[in-house]
C-alpha cells in the first residue's frame, strides 16, 4: 500500500490496518523461525507497511494535538 493510499484511510481503518499488519508480521516471524517461510522478503514488506501506517498515524495525532498547525 502506497503512502498516498494510507493517507486516504479513515482513523478507524488505519488503526485496524496497523493491528492486522502487526498480526501478519508476527505470523511471518513465527514461520521464519520454524523454517516454513519460503519468501523472507515478506518480512521486509510487512515492516515497511507498519512503518508507513504508524507514520501517518503519528502525523494525525500531532495534527489533532497541535491544533492542525505544521
Q: What ranges do the domains of the chain cover?
A: 3-65
CA pseudo-torsion sign 70, 67, 7, 39:
positive
pLDDT tens per residue, range 31-68: 999 999 999 999 999 999 999 999 999 999 999 887 65
Alpha helical stretches, state H, 1-70: 3-7, 11-33, 41-65
Residue 26 has pLDDT above 90, yes or no: yes
Q: Using the 8-state DSSP alphabet, how is residue 70 labeled? A: -
Q: Which three cell numbers stand for residue 25?
A: 508480521
| pTM score of the predicted model | 0.85
Domain 3-65 has CATH 1.10.287.310: yes
Distance CA 48, CA 59 (A): 17
Q: Tell me, what's the pLDDT at 21?
A: 97
Amino acid at each position: 500500500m502506497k503512502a498516498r493510499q494510507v493517507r486516504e484511510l479513515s482513523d478507524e481503518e488505519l488503526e485496524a490496518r496497523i493491528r492486522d499488519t502487526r498480526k501478519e508480521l508476527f505470523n511471518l516471524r513465527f514461520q521464519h523461525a520454524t523454517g516454513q517461510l519460503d519468501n523472507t522478503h515478506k518480512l521486509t514488506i510487512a515492516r515497511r507497511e507498519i512503518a508507513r501506517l504508524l507514520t501517518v498515524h503519528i502525523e494525525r495525532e500531532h495534527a489533532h494535538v497541535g491544533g492542525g498547525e505544521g
